């Protein structure tokens, strides 16, 4: 509580002194038991100041928000429960909460009722789950059991991605043996959206990956039209919507995700825009059997032992913490209107950033359609110096990126705690540094 209460008054980045003080942790391994309270004192005294205030109101890095207080408290209670939520039978409470949360998520994100789902560590693993289900289905349709027989001798699978696919999609393709480089890359427009004019003709076992929410611009691929073409060719569409999928929950933004329910699998994060504690990613698959066939520890043909879902049948992990508890707490507390308000508010704050910085003569490199703002302060060297200066100033924190050849400050507004006044204060700090 003290940590959270004092967060607003300190620098968002840790001070160099606080980082240097971490040496206090570098003790010899204790030979015997010590005082738990003393251990916690050291953790707080040395550890807390060396954190970045990601839980605070003016952290605008990496598209990650702070935890809603109710989700942090739910996390503590679920931690006390210590439920290994791989199977339903021994952990009915947490497994049931995840089942409820899954249904609510499908509703709020406008995904097909009855889709399967997995609560995993993040969108990287959610992409892995969706693509593993895709690999199962497209090869099963070609008469090949990939879980049993692997990829040696399997019919080739065509994989189509956008030139702007997130590196976690590329990594998942590598892990799954589909190849990081063995893909068809569709060129993108100036916002990073797939250009349909360059979309390939599809045939044979095919997986198409689309993106909702480009990490730089926030732009979204034309998912409805891609789904139409893929469906006509019998291809599987996987959506990486780590943060952009949440636009579906916001009335003024949902046009960006129109048609998303026509895809076959979806990956998103709860630890980004739903503001639950790390780590929590979400995978959804229209056909739950495809996800289960790819992930269940027992062979796919064995019946599930319980009428309720075993969470571990749908995840890479068997032993796992019940990540769905915080998601349940967030959704139950915010409701449909509260989630919409969170998304709408952050998008409005992003527009506020863009308008104020543009008015002061800074260059905004993207159409601000979601919560992402790319800002250049002249050439690459000057922009780098401004970003470093802003991080050192400590009023707020934003990171660096390169967008289509331009070095830029990337501002992501993703926290429930951020107010208009925080944006104003941050703009003033950024302009103060830039003028220096
Ligand atoms: C953040 C992000 C990911 C990876 O998510 P993690 O939670 O870090 O694993 C994947 N895709 C996109 C578009 C993202 O923004």
User: Could you tell me the residue ranges of all domains in the chain?
Assistant: 2-53, 70-330
Which residue has a Cα nearest atom 2 of ligand 1? Answer: 242
Average pLDDT, the chain: 96
Residues with CB under 6 Å of ligand 1 are 63, 122-124, 166, 168, 211, 213, 215, 240, 242-243, 269, 281
pLDDT at position 308 is: 76
Question: Given this model, what pLDDT does residue 309 score?
Answer: 85
What pLDDT shows up at residue 297? 86
Question: Which pLDDT tens digit goes with each residue over 273-289?
Answer: 999 999 999 999 999 99
Is residue 304 predicted with pLDDT exceeding 80? no
Task: Quote the CA–CA distance of 385 and 373 in Å, as a whole number.
Answer: 18
pLDDT digits over 77-106, tens only?
A: 999 999 999 999 999 999 999 999 999 999
Q: What is the mean pLDDT of residues 1-29?
A: 96
pLDDT tens, 160-217?
999 999 999 999 999 999 999 999 999 999 999 999 999 999 999 999 999 999 999 9
124 C-alpha to center of ligand 1: Å?
A: 6
What does the pLDDT look like over 307-349, one tens digit per residue?
A: 678 999 999 999 999 999 999 999 999 999 999 999 999 999 9
Q: Cβ contacts of residue 253 below 8 Å, gap of 6+?
A: 247, 343, 344, 347, 369, 370
Question: How big is the CA angle at 102 (ends 99 and 106), to the nearest 5 degrees?
Answer: 145
Check residue 110 and give its pLDDT.
Answer: 97
CATH domain 70-330 topology: 3.40.640
Q: How far away, in angstroms, is 242 Cα from ligand 1 center?
A: 5
Ligand 1 center to residue 63 CA distance, Å?
9
pLDDT digits (tens, 9 = 90+) for 384-417: 999 999 999 999 999 999 999 999 999 999 999 9
Query: Over 80: is that where the pLDDT of 299 sits?
Result: no
Distance of CA 123 from the midpoint of ligand 1 (Å): 5
pLDDT band at 302 (very low <50, low <70, confident <90, very high): low
DSSP 212: B
Dihedral, CA of residue 397, residue 401, residue 403 and residue 408, to nearest 10: 50
Picking from 363, 381, 357, the residue whose alpha carbon sits closest to that of residue 429 is 357
Give the nearest ligand 1 atom to 269 CA.
7
């Amino acid at each position: 509580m003290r940590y959270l209460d004092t967060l607003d008054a300190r620098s968002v980045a840790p001070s160099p002194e606080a980082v240097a003080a971490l040496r206090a942790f570098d003790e010899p391994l204790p030979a015997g038991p010590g005082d738990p309270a003393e251990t916690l004192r050291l953790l707080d005294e040395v550890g807390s100041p060396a954190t970045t205030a990601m839980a605070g109101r003016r952290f605008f890095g990496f598209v990650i928000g702070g935890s809603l207080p109710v989700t942090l408290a739910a996390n503590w209670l679920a931690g006390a429960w210590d439920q290994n939520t791989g199977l339903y039978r021994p952990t009915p409470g947490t497994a049931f909460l995840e089942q409820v949360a899954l249904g609510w998520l499908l509703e709020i994100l406008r995904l097909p009722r009855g889709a399967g789902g997995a609560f995993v560590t993040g969108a990287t693993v959610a992409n892995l789950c969706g693509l593993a289900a895709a690999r199962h289905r497209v090869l099963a349709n070609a008469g090949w059991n990939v879980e049993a027989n692997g990829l040696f001798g399997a019919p080739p699978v065509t994989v189509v991605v956008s030139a702007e696919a997130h590196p976690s999609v590329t990594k998942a393709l590598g892990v799954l043996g589909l190849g990081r480089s063995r893909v068809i890359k569709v060129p993108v427009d100036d916002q990073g959206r797939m250009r349909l004019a360059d979309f390939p003709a599809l045939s044979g076992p095919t997986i198409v990956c689309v993106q909702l929410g480009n990490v730089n611009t926030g732009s979204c691929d034309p998912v409805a039209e891609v789904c139409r073409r893929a469906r006509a060719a019998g291809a599987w569409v996987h959506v990486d919507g780590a943060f952009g999928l949440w636009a579906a929950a916001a009335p003024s933004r949902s046009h960006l995700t129109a048609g998303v329910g026509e895809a076959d699998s979806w990956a998103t994060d709860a630890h980004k825009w739903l503001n639950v504690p790390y780590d929590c990613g979400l995978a959804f698959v229209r056909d739950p059997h495809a996800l289960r066939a790819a992930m269940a520890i027992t062979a796919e043909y064995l019946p599930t032992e319980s009428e309720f879902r075993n969470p571990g049948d749908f995840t890479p992990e068997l032993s796992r913490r019940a990540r769905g508890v915080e998601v349940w707490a967030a959704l139950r507390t915010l409701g449909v209107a509260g989630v919409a308000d969170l998304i709408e508010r952050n998008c409005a704050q992003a527009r506020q950033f863009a308008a104020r910085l543009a008015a002061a003569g800074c260059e905004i490199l993207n159409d601000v359609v979601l919560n992402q703002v790319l800002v250049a302060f002249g050439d690459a060297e000057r922009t780098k110096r401004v970003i470093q200066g802003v991080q050192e100033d400590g009023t707020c924190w934003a990171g660096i990126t390169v967008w289509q050849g331009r070095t830029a400050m990337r501002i992501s507004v993703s926290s429930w705690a951020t107010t208009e006044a925080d944006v104003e204060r941050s703009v003033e700090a950024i302009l103060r540094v830039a003028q220096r």
